[in-house]
Structure 1
Amino acid sequence: MRAGSPRLLREINDRVAIEAMLAGGPLTRAELETLIGLSKPATAQLLARLESEGTVRRCGLRGGGRGPRAQLWRVNGALAHVAAVDLTPRTVDVAVADIAGAVLAEHRAPMPRGRGADVLSAFVAALDHAAAMASLTRADLRHVVVGSPGAVDPRTGRLGFAPHLPGWEGFDVPGRLRELLGGDHVDVVVENDVNLLAAEEMATGRAVDARDFVLLCLTPGVGSAVVINRTVLRGATGGAGEIDWMRVPDRADRDTGVDRRGARFGDLLGSAAVSRLAQAHGLPAGGGWAVLRRALATGPAGRPFLTDLARRVATGIAGVVSVVDPELVLLSVGVGEPGVRVLCDLVADELHRMVVPRTPVEPARAGAGAVRSGALRSALALARERVFGLPAVPPSVPR
């Protein structure tokens, strides 16, 4: 055996043990021994070493009944702290967690609106408040991941494709936030919100087993994420998947005054456009995508409207499906899975008339809070890579 190999093996075993405790929560020595395949003495030595380094802590006992109670061990969450943020034009939603994944504080605050609004100060104030709720300061945060509409150009740090997020244009967004939050000691990542939804779908949703898929999010606004080999495709300027701006023909049977030769995809599926389409079919207008529920409640009378809506959706994603040939298209509308499933079936029918791939269309599972959850997953992966040397999961962690 070469010199240095025992140390390397110890480091590998330490990382495996840490990963097991991060994934499974507090574990006993016997449970850890089974999971990592070490002998009882070797596992005991490993735990003693990690405890002396401050990496793990004792956290109570497990057991009961007639047998002895066993000591539980967990990762020391205080080794690092992270923040996850869901940023929208109206609100900022912050979660602060320790490196073990325990959420220590949650805080939602309104964002100032309009040109010239001091959005940066409001953002930092919300983050400071969340950190204080966790008995921390911004200086205690190792990584901050922000999910937002639009996309950051990796060459300039500027946020593009997000005119509905005023106050964030024209400067290096991650760089400015890093300066405001304390400089080089904190890592700030700004990630597209739909990309974070895609990461959640891969982790806990319908894309757990999918390698290549497209996620289309239709409210609020229109956005998509393209995942290839379980890695989010970002493009040269960060704009991969920004199909909101793509011009497509309106293939709906009913005329709503839209230029049939081509309109912005986001305009065709915006709240006002969907309401007008419903009205053209004799359904009550108003409420934007909530009209989908009303159309479903009307039974056969609502089917022509749903079919026209499906034609618009299918036309917008047909080009993406033709080029990528994904295993799956996921549709996120935000009106509950039963309604989305009906729309998915109609979109699939229309899509298969337009393209060669017979790609299934399914409802996305990621629900409320998924953007912040995806941001937290990414922030934890970055922190664990830095502190423990654990490999960050590519789809969840922007590079």
Structure 2
Amino acid sequence: MRTGSPRLLREINDRAAIDTLLRQGPLTRSHLEDVIGLSKPATAQLLARLEQEGVVVKDGVRDGGRGPRAQLWAVNGAVARVAAVDLTPHGADMVIADITGKVLARRAAGSSEVPVLAGTDVVAAFAAALAGTAEAAGVTLAELHRVVIGAPGAVDPNTGRLGSAPHLPGWSGFDLPAALGAALGVEVTVENDVNLVALHEMAEGRATELSDFVLVWLSEGAGGAVVLDRRLRRGAAGGSGEIDWLQVPDRARTDTGFDRFGARWGDLVDSPAILALADAHEISADTGWAAVGAAVKAGEAGRAFLADLARRVAAGIANVVSVLDPEAVLLCGEVSRAGGDLFLELVSHELHELVVPRTPVELAAAPGDAVRAGALQSALATVREEVFGLPAGGQ
């Protein structure tokens, strides 16, 4: 039996109903009462009250076979809208969604529309591009409750400055969230792109059951994210997981000119470095992930190149694993997907040559749009907490 003041019980039941409708989508009253454990009259009163407050709406009917068709109820998406953005050196992928997660508009803005070069007014350009996306969604910037932007680099929570982002020179040197918030008239969060992928992985991917894991991104560049006790760890200056800046020796047996005693790990495993290593192994390709894919298809002829790359990858991961001893290392990004099970096996072997923990190396389930998807999840979680009092999870 539930005890407490009527108001507190009402709030608890309201949150339970809203959370259920957000997770499961439109439901009938009878289905909702089964999930949240209320009586038929109590559930009917709850829905009537939430409808009067504009929180839920009738959303069609469901055929129930014999008898009358059952009314469906859903959270009112118009309660709040959010924007999620994947910012890269090539432009920005933007979406506008309502509080249920329904995407109202999506638009890819190129680097000519969202510039990254120093000396350009990146804030005004971004605001104009997002305003256009909002217009396509049928809303204004003023109607957005939050904007979450995923960017390569780390935002210092003390200064708001974006660091470790040499490919976004125009976005550095000032309080980025504050400047964007002032231009947009809405609260803005700028988050490391790989951190957002980790949030997505916890919500829908391979990490749904993991408490502690390290996510490693291998694509055009490299990066990482750390999750401990189901919480994303950003660090005191926002730099947790920035493993691409680690100084490590080049453990590849084929020399491509890197300092054998120490080089920036990100420079050893980014796409240009992978292409140089592939060329040394007589494998030709246009991108690092294409080279890895070609090596996998080549079978034994491509194994030496993949093993060399695995040695480089493991050298960076080993530092993190030795300190954190996570449940798993999850590899993601185009390079990891192209390498598949063979590459995972090689990285795992090399990693276990360097560290004591026998940490499994697995492939993340993150899709190609995982940064934007993670940004949307982050925005929704924050706004749902603000509006409905729902817990925001591992953010």
Structure 2 length normalisation: TM-score?
Answer: 0.96
Structure 2 vs 1, CA of residues 319 and 67 (structure 1 numbering), >3 Å: closer, same or farther?
same
Letter of the 1:34 counterpart: D
Query: Which residue of the partner structure matches residue 150 of structure 1?
Result: 153
Structure 2 vs 1, CA of residues 276 and 47 (structure 1 numbering), >3 Å: closer, same or farther?
same
Residues 1:267 and 2:275 are matched in the alignment:
no
Query: Which residue of the partner structure matches residue 164 of structure 1?
Result: 167
The 5 A counterparts of 1:275-290 are: 275-284=275-284, 286-290=286-290
Report deviation, 1:381. 0.9
Letter of the 1:66 counterpart: R
CA contact (8 A) 2:212 2:230 kept: yes
Query: Which residue of the partner structure matches residue 125 of structure 1?
Result: 128
CA contact (8 A) 1:256 1:277 kept: yes
2 CA distance for matches of 1:338 and 1:162?
25
Query: Which residue of the partner structure matches residue 322 of structure 2?
Result: 322
2 CA distance for matches of 1:77 and 1:305?
51
Query: Which residue of the partner structure matches residue 75 of structure 2?
Result: 75
Further displaced range: 122-131 or 333-342: 333-342
Report deviation, 1:64. 4.7
2 CA distance for matches of 1:276 and 1:31?
59
Query: Which residue of the partner structure matches residue 63 of structure 1?
Result: 63
SS of 1:12's partner is helix
2 CA distance for matches of 1:141 and 1:19?
21
Residues 1:210 and 2:210 are matched in the alignment:
yes
Q: Deviations over 1:153-197 (max 9, x none)?
A: 000111111011121111110000110011xxx221110000000
CA contact (8 A) 1:107 1:126 kept: no
CA contact (8 A) 1:331 1:340 kept: no
1 CA distance for matches of 2:278 and 2:117?
31
CA contact (8 A) 2:293 2:338 kept: no
CA contact (8 A) 1:151 1:239 kept: yes
Q: Deviations over 1:214-255 (max 9, x none)?
A: 011011211000110111111110001111111100111111
Structure 2 vs 1, CA of residues 214 and 4 (structure 1 numbering), >3 Å: closer, same or farther?
closer
CA contact (8 A) 1:333 1:340 kept: no
The 5 A counterparts of 1:1-399 are: 5-110=5-110, 111-182=114-185, 186-284=186-284, 286-335=286-335, 337=337, 339-394=339-394, 397=395
1 CA distance for matches of 2:246 and 2:336?
27
SS of 1:216's partner is strand
Structure 2 vs 1, CA of residues 338 and 92 (structure 1 numbering), >3 Å: closer, same or farther?
closer
Further displaced range: 56-65 or 312-321: 56-65
Report deviation, 1:112. 2.2
SS of 1:44's partner is helix
- Ranges in structure 2 where 5+ consecutive residues have no aligned partner: none
Report deviation, 1:278. 1.4
Superposition misfits of 4+ residues, deviation over 6 angstroms: none
Percent of matched pairs sharing the same residue: 62
2 CA distance for matches of 1:128 and 1:139?
10
Structure 1 length normalisation: TM-score?
Answer: 0.95
Report deviation, 1:386. 1.1
Q: Deviations over 1:288-311 (max 9, x none)?
A: 231001111111111111111100
The root-mean-square deviation of aligned C-alpha atoms, in Å, is 1.7
Letter of the 1:129 counterpart: G
SS of 2:377's partner is helix
Letter of the 1:320 counterpart: V
1 CA distance for matches of 2:38 and 2:85?
39
CA contact (8 A) 2:336 2:363 kept: no
Count, aligned residues: 392
1 CA distance for matches of 2:335 and 2:27?
40
CA contact (8 A) 1:205 1:364 kept: yes
CA contact (8 A) 1:249 1:261 kept: yes
CA contact (8 A) 2:336 2:343 kept: no
Structure 2 vs 1, CA of residues 138 and 338 (structure 1 numbering), >3 Å: closer, same or farther?
closer
2 CA distance for matches of 1:343 and 1:333?
13
Report deviation, 1:34. 0.2
